[in-house]
Chains A and B, each alone.
Chain A
Amino acid sequence: MYLLLFWFATVGHGQTTNYALKFIPTFNNQPLQLYKAYYLPNINDSITIEGLRFYVSGVKLLKGVKVVHELVNGYYLVDATIPETQSLELDLPKPFIFDQIQLHIGIDSITNVSGAMGGALDPMNGMYWAWQSGFINFKLEGTSPVCNSRNHKFQYHIGGYMPPFNALQTVTFSCTNDGDLTVYIALDKILGSLDLKLEPEIMSPSAKAISLSTIIKQNFTTNIQP
């Protein structure tokens, strides 16, 4: 029994190809520093980011339009406060030739109705709505003096899986299969698109959540834009 287990472990290892998918949140094209006061032009005031967490799932490797590999049951919770979570080591069963990587920002609707799951999906991670079932796909929190809210906080908890408010977004990146892929998340652009003063909170499935999810998607890029 134990020998068999050992055999699986070694054989599995020999064939695995490691490929890393990295996520770097940025502000003004520089890696984000949590709790640092940044200047944001559209509000003409400062802003401080205290937390950023989002789910990555449904990772697919594509060659042209063909899916060459899919990471089934791969759910990752990226957390800006935990550097290890910002690099996803994809354990590929064998080397693949691919030129694009596709992924979901969030959790698909089937997983949303599948009951309690552990690991990244455990509701104790604080990425699940208790009052109305559903995962929070993307959570961005912090403060700005302009926010008309308690303690000048802003809280954007974006989720929802039921039509018409399905906030799941899918992004596709061109890449090469011989180097890791780094995805930058331009938080200055995401926050710059929001009305921080009058709408410092979006925390339920809604049209506003959908429109913010689209802006979030547009700001997941593989190149730092000047």
Chain B
Amino acid sequence: MKKLWLILFGLGLLSFTVSKGFKLAYPSYFPKPVYDFKKNPLTQQKIDLGRVLFYDPILSKDNSISCASCHSPYNAFAHVDHDLSHGINDQIGTRNAPALINLAWQSEFMWDGAINHLDMQALAPISHPKEMDEDIANVVSKLRQIPMYRGLFFDAFADSTITGAQTLKALSQFQLTFISANAKYDSVMRKESVFTEQEANGYHLFKQHCNSCHTEPLFSTYEFTDNGLNIDSTLNDLGRVVISHNPLDSFKFKVPTLRNAAYSFPYMHDGRFAKLSQVVTHYTSLTFCNQKDKRLQQPIILTQNEKVDLVAFLLTLSDKSFVFNPNYSYPKEILARWRRD
């Protein structure tokens, strides 16, 4: 018995020495991440486990829906061409699946900020009756029956028990690697390229009219605000007030990042706009309403050409190396390794 314990302890040490810390790379002009990496230090093994979990429909009740079902890497982890996403048994939810980009810089998640930490975010879709309709305790008991997961958890945590906390932390680790900082905008910031005349004019207009909410370099302040959208009477979504119980938070939703906007259509919390030009037109045609954000009280007036220039600038936020990053795609090489073993 004692011998077994020593062997297990030795194996634990071995695997700790194998698990090398993983350093996230981000540009010097980015602020400091808000995610507390000390509580969940990144390792390649944990990121790999998170990646396998992200693509595995085992997280849903009938093994039909994975995280990637609504968060596809090729759309900057949004659900392309779906205003509202469909989950288990083709049920339709009430909100547009947001793009997953630069999550280490965010502390509140979902359109209304219902979730207070990236680690806890996955619990919401896992247990939502219209998304995965599952329960984290049941996910864990399903994972425990699969030898590959016992192995992946052992590699990641030096422990093959498998817990809910480990499952959530691994999912966080994979998502924390979703850093988009290699768009044309970034190469201009790094002085490796220059904007075209049209893009430069669009950038000028952006700084004048958009930057106070979609602030560089993350292209969001991640605040909750009322951007003047009329309520969709088929959804009657009141936004953040439901979470905060503060009437001043009525019709407020999180400001999304504009990075990779061209890949993550449609737009707004209910996906009502299919094109960036429609979004720009929304802001230029706002009528007076004192409820909406103060920064939108002054009318935004743009000519047709200026609107085109603004959209041209927004396209410089498309990060091809992000959406086609092989480290984010279906983990076939990790699964192949386990099939071979």
Contacts and interface: CB of A to CB of B under 8 A. Distances in A.
Interface of A: 2, 112-118, 121-126, 128, 130-134, 162, 164-165, 205-206
Interface of B: 6, 9, 36, 39-40, 114-120, 123-124, 126-128, 135-137, 140, 163-166, 168-169, 172, 243-245
Given A116-B119, A118-B163, 15 more contacts: A113-B117, A115-B119, A115-B168, A115-B172, A116-B172, A118-B166, A122-B164, A123-B164, A128-B120, A130-B126, A130-B128, A131-B124, A133-B114, A162-B244, A165-B245
Given A123-B168, A131-B127, A115 B137 contact: no
B115 A133 contact: yes
A133 B120 contact: yes
Contacts, number: 78
Contact of B168 (A2, A116, A125, A164): A116
A123 B124 contact: no
B136 A124 contact: yes
Given A114-B39, A116-B119, A132-B114, A123 B245 contact: no
Nearest to B246: A164
A128 B135 CA distance: 11
Contacts of B136: 123-124, 130
Contacts of B126: 130
A130 B127 contact: yes
B6 A2 contact: yes
A155 to B, nearest CB: 16
A115 B120 contact: yes
11 contacts: A115-B118, A115-B120, A115-B168, A115-B169, A116-B117, A116-B164, A116-B168, A118-B165, A125-B137, A131-B114, A205-B245
A187 to B, nearest CB: 25
B39 A131 contact: no
Given A123-B136, A123-B164, A124-B136, A115 B124 contact: no
Nearest to A132: B114
Given A115-B172, A118-B163, A165-B245, A123 B120 contact: yes
Contacts of A125: 137, 164
Contacts of B135: 126
A122 B163 contact: yes
Q: Which 8 A-B pairs have the closest CB atoms?
A: A124-B164, A115-B119, A116-B119, A130-B123, A130-B127, A116-B168, A133-B116, A118-B165
Contacts of B166: 118
Contacts of B119: 115-116
A164 B36 CA distance: 26
A124 B163 CA distance: 7
Nearest to A162: B244
A113 B36 CA distance: 11
B165 A116 contact: yes
